[in-house]
Structure 1
């Protein structure tokens, strides 16, 4: 079910992040074993400031349905971190956050 949203500076190649984040979410073992419920998308930014200057960044937001424990959320973020750390990024700020989605207001349908 997770929605993994990768935001990154446009000077980086976004295609390198999607498979790493997908694999990190899959490796956490918190979702379907075949990964069929993991959704990953990436957005690049041309306009940004990090710490007062234009430094490369990657920020991953993982939105999951409410109900996971703090330990499970930590496992998820660390699993994604492990995959992203395999990349040869230099002078780049990398952050990951796991955010709860309220079950009562979340809607999904297939058309």
Structure 2
């Protein structure tokens, strides 16, 4: 169920491959023990065009979408774990951030 969408400046995928980046996010999420094995989905969207405070600074932002039911502490730990993993890969990238949003169980539907 959990979806992690990595948005980044295009330069990021020239430093590390998209597969390397996505795998590190996947590994960090899996190591949190919050999700069933095989349920984690990760995608990446590099941008050619962006404006960060009127600068062209490289950035990585990860949007996490998970089913409701985790505590604030669990979500904070997950965020910290993923950001630390990404920071280890990109020490020189000035903007690395993440947020988590909850899906409501009652309004989530997928084809199965």
State the partner residue of 1:10.
10
How far apart are residue 97 of structure 1 and its match? 0.4
Residue pair 1:10, 1:45 contacting (<8 A) in 2 also: yes
Q: Within 5 Å, which residues of 2 pair with 1:1-111?
A: 1-13=1-13, 15=18, 16-32=20-36, 35-110=37-112
How far apart are residue 85 of structure 1 and its match? 2.1
TM-score, length of structure 2 as denominator length: 0.89
Residue pair 2:87, 2:96 contacting (<8 A) in 1 also: no
Change in Cα spacing, 1:72 to 1:85, as seen in structure 2 (3 Å) is same
How far apart are residue 105 of structure 1 and its match? 1.1
Q: What is the number of equivalent residue pairs in this alignment? A: 108
State the distance in 2 between where 1:82 and 1:75 align.
10
The structure where helix makes up a greater share of residues is 2
Superposed CA RMSD: 1.3
How far apart are residue 92 of structure 1 and its match? 2.7
Residue pair 1:21, 1:83 contacting (<8 A) in 2 also: yes
